Amino acid sequence: NKTAIKQFTNGMTLWVLGAHNKTNLQRRSIRWLIGDECWRWPTGHMAEAEARVTAFGWLGKCLFMSQGGHADDDMTKRHLMTDQREWTFACPECQARQPYQWEQIKWSADARTEQGWDYAAVRASTVMLCASCQAEFPDDDRTRKRLNQAGCYVRQNPTASPENVGFHWNALCAMSWGRLAELYLRAKQSAKLGDIEPLKIFYQKRLGQPWAEAYEDYSVDLTQSDYRLGEDWEKEAALDKSGHVLPAPYEASMASAKLRIITVDCQMDHVFVVARSWAADGSSRLLWHEKLISFDDVSNLAQRLEVHPSLVFVDAGYATYDVYRGCAARRWTALMGDARTTYQHRLPNG
Ligand SMILES: [Zn+2]
């Protein structure tokens, strides 16, 4: 029977319909609604489908399933309204109950060679650490089985309305961590070359997380050898505690920050970063420039280059709200462009 409608002898009707076609989601009264891959549904279609069960009151039930979608899609918003139960395990060493977190997956830094990652060495060295006592769990199915046997879902949002129940888990409870580490590192490599799709898929499909642009903890792979700062510039100025410029050479104890400035230009899914070193006479030197993926990358870079947080300037013209929030969290300065070519600057003494 190839039709999308099935009549059962007990009187039940089963419709199997596509969610893209809005008319499929209208007019019918449905008692049990099951929606799959909801991250692909067009905006508004989940609400449209949900409205079909209202005629059944408390007897109506909706079950929506999905991998991770996007940070602002209907599926993500819907999940945020639930009690957000997360699959957890208890550490056999310290008993701390915790979700499976990607941040707890570690591999040996020695797996990195001049040519890039040695994936066999990555796979062989990957472990998971307890978030509480740092106990090390080997990457094998027996370990995962043992952890899952004492697993349970823990509500992350206990104030949710009780009829909204949500469950979330990721690949860490079921798949080789070494294999995931390889997927992740390969995806990061692609992102560096300009293709963020594999990284996005890693987050959505493997970690089951909604993708947000510039969300990744894309740590800058700055090794000591390609750190070009090396020799200090003898003309570089500094700022004293009250923000006045100290020309070089200055007394180190007087300086509270080197006069190094990072400017960040935000694009849709990456940022361009330029770091310059400034002298008191207004001349400057390029310290570093790079295309990065996230604000965390910029933080890492600022730390490495010893740039004071308030000397990190971020263009807030695009995704203004996110930029303000990101700047506030890191004590950076957000910049808003304006059409004027000149302006008057009033000094404190008038
Ligand atoms: Zn532990």
211 within some domain = no
Across the range 186-205, mean pLDDT stands at 87
State yes or no: pLDDT of 173 exceeds 80: yes
**Same-domain check for residues 241 and 289:** yes
Backbone angles phi, psi at 209, to 5 degrees: -110, 145
CA 350 to ligand 1 centroid distance, Å:
61
Q: Which domain range does residue 198 map to?
A: 89-153+172-206
Per-residue confidence at 343, pLDDT binned at 50, 70, 90?
low
279 within some domain = yes
Closest CA to 127 of 89, 176, 92: 176
Looking at residue 69, what is its pLDDT?
A: 93
Looking at residue 319, what is its pLDDT?
A: 73
163 within some domain = no
Q: Which of 165-169, 225-229, 235-239, 278-282 has the highest mean pLDDT?
A: 165-169
Per-residue confidence at 46, pLDDT binned at 50, 70, 90?
very high
**Same-domain check for residues 98 and 200:** yes
**Same-domain check for residues 104 and 181:** yes
Helix axis angle for 320-330 and 295-304, nearest 10°, is: 40
The number of distinct structural domains making up the chain is 3
State yes or no: pLDDT of 196 exceeds 80: yes
Per-residue confidence at 45, pLDDT binned at 50, 70, 90?
very high
CA 132 to ligand 1 centroid distance, Å:
5
Closest CA to 201 of 209, 143, 217, 158: 209
**Same-domain check for residues 236 and 275:** yes
219 within some domain = no
Looking at residue 33, what is its pLDDT?
A: 94
31 within some domain = yes
CA 128 to ligand 1 centroid distance, Å:
11
CA 97 to ligand 1 centroid distance, Å:
8
Looking at residue 141, what is its pLDDT?
A: 96
**Same-domain check for residues 101 and 44:** no
H helices within 150-196, ranges in order? 177-192
Looking at residue 345, what is its pLDDT?
A: 66
Question: Which tens digits make up the pLDDT trace of 251-307?
Answer: 888 888 999 999 999 888 888 999 999 999 888 888 888 889 889 899 999 998 899
**Same-domain check for residues 198 and 93:** yes
Question: Which tens digits make up the pLDDT trace of 214-223?
Answer: 555 444 443 3
**Same-domain check for residues 329 and 230:** yes
Looking at residue 221, what is its pLDDT?
A: 41
CA 150 to ligand 1 centroid distance, Å:
14
CA 121 to ligand 1 centroid distance, Å:
25
159 within some domain = no
Pairing of strands 260-266, 312-315: parallel
* Percent share of the chain, pLDDT over 90: 54
Across the range 324-348, mean pLDDT stands at 77
Check which CATH number belongs to the domain holding 257 and give it: 3.30.420
CA 101 to ligand 1 centroid distance, Å:
14
Which stretches does DSSP call E strand in 139-244?
A: 152-155, 167-168, 238-240
Residue found under tokens 């493997």: 206
CA 88 to ligand 1 centroid distance, Å:
13
CA 169 to ligand 1 centroid distance, Å:
20
162 within some domain = no
Alpha-carbon span 258 to 252, nearest angstrom:
10
**Same-domain check for residues 93 and 202:** yes
State yes or no: pLDDT of 63 exceeds 50: yes
**Same-domain check for residues 202 and 93:** yes
**Same-domain check for residues 327 and 258:** yes
Alpha-carbon span 172 to 307, nearest angstrom:
36
CA 238 to ligand 1 centroid distance, Å:
45
Which one has a higher pLDDT value, 175 or 224? 175
**Same-domain check for residues 192 and 263:** no
* Percent share of the chain, pLDDT over 70: 90
Q: How many helices (H) and strands (E) does the chain have?
A: 8, 21
What is the DSSP code (8-state) at residue 20?
S
Task: Count other Cβ atoms within 10 Å, centred on residue 136.
Answer: 12
Question: Which tens digits make up the pLDDT trace of 112-159?
Answer: 887 889 999 999 999 999 999 999 999 999 999 999 999 999 999 999
110 within some domain = yes
**Same-domain check for residues 96 and 196:** yes
